Structure 1
Amino acid sequence: MFDLGPATQEMRRLVGGVADDDLDRPTPCDDWTVRELLAHIHQFSSVFTDNARKAPMRPPDGLVGDWRTAIPEQLEDLAAAWAEPGAWEGRVSAGGVEMPARDNAVVAVEELTVHAWDLARATDQRVHVQDATLDEVERFFTMFPPDPETGTGPFGPVTPIADDADRLHRVLALAGRDPGTNTTDERTGTR
């Protein structure tokens, strides 16, 4: 077991920093706007909460009108659901892939972390990532490693990155993101 609370709290903070005029801004996610990214965050938070509780999945509903309240509440519920020992038992499905529940939690924290960076980047915010969270996100990429022949990871081509890049930027590169030189994250203090 590990605590999803820090990753959900950070996402809640970032969602709270989204302005109405940010909704149509582009994000680092495959042609998604901030509005579409927020809808995805709400959807995957619901799915991973349902998985923790072994409940039937709810159908996706796009960006709900009360997203400023609904997404933070769903994220809080997600952390609470995975705080229960039973959440880590059995098998569940994510994205059509069946896996042990404990591995599903790793997928959840990877989604929270990478999309927190996406949201921060798109809305000119700073992202805070704890080392314990990065431990689990790195574990995700050992569970779903890039293909050594094609250099394609679970989200597309791995982005080349400098040898001296920090942990967060290495994870982002594995997720096909280009952290570049104009990103900011408070954990490393780099810009």
Structure 2
Amino acid sequence: MATTTNPPDLGPSAQRLSDVVGGVDDSRLDDPTPCDGRTVSQLLGHLHGLTLAFRASADKELGPLTDTNPDQQGWPDAPPQWREEIPAQSERLAAAWQQPDAWTGMTRAGGFDAPAEVMGLVALNEITLHAWDLARATGQEFAPDEATVEALAGHVEGFDKGGTPGMFGPAVDVPGANEFERVLARAGRDPGWRAPEST
């Protein structure tokens, strides 16, 4: 697990998320995603909110952005400027978590408090796995960098295999999976999930 002296860099995952967002065709917005019951538009809306929230969490800017539980509020559809705003917010999020002070003390996101070094890993997990969700839902390739996979492997090891209501489904058994596929599976995702054929 990361510590305040050697935190992971969220920059590569933020850039990959931005790249995937840039590759989303408007015709896909109503398509399903690996997030059960959520459309591509709702996933983009969720990403829009969480990139704001986890930037605020890094800066200890506690308030409306960090106090809202997205699962209690529901996942809104993507706002009109999602294609420009999510990449810009992702860049600011990564820059905020590159500051040493971001990883110290306590902070908040999604309405719950946690040590900042844990919250930083939650932020990395969210932007990486949801970037994979979005890529799969829209027929794009997605491959995280090795350092990110290593950080997430340690993070998800602590997840309950039975799942965490409102956050992750039960762990999926995937024989022969590579390390990132094992991360996905432990977070309740089927690494073999594929986008439906476009019509």
TM-score, structure 2 as length reference: 0.83
Identity across matched positions, percent: 44
In structure 2, the CA distance between the partners of 1:181 and 1:79, relative to structure 1 (3 Å rule), is closer
Q: Which residue is equivalent to 1:161?
A: 174
Aligned partner letter, 1:92: T
Structure with higher RCO (Cα < 8 A, 6+ apart):
2
Aligned counterpart for 1:171 among listed residues 171, 176, 183:
183
Q: Which runs of 4+ in 1 moved over 4 A?
A: none
The question of whether the paired residues in 2 share the 8 Å contact of 1:106 and 1:139 is answered with: no
- What 5-or-longer segments of structure 1 have no aligned partner? 184-191
1:48 is paired with a residue whose SS is helix
CA RMSD of aligned residues (A): 1.8
TM-score, structure 1 as length reference: 0.86
- What 5-or-longer segments of structure 2 have no aligned partner? 1-6
Aligned length, in residue pairs: 177
CA-CA distance at 1:50 after TM superposition: 0.3
1:93 is paired with a residue whose SS is strand
Aligned counterpart for 1:85 among listed residues 67, 89, 100:
100
Aligned counterpart for 1:72 among listed residues 87, 91, 95:
87
Q: How does 1:13-162 map to 2 (within 5 A)?
A: 13-55=19-61, 56-58=63-65, 62=76, 63-142=78-157, 144-146=158-160, 151-154=161-164, 155-162=168-175
Q: Give the Cα–Cα distance (whole angstroms) in 1 for the partners of residues 147 and 132 of structure 2.
A: 16
The question of whether the paired residues in 2 share the 8 Å contact of 1:120 and 1:126 is answered with: yes
Q: Give the Cα–Cα distance (whole angstroms) in 1 for the partners of residues 114 and 43 of structure 2.
A: 25
Q: Give the Cα–Cα distance (whole angstroms) in 1 for the partners of residues 193 and 24 of structure 2.
A: 23
Q: Give the Cα–Cα distance (whole angstroms) in 2 for the partners of residues 88 and 158 of structure 1.
A: 28
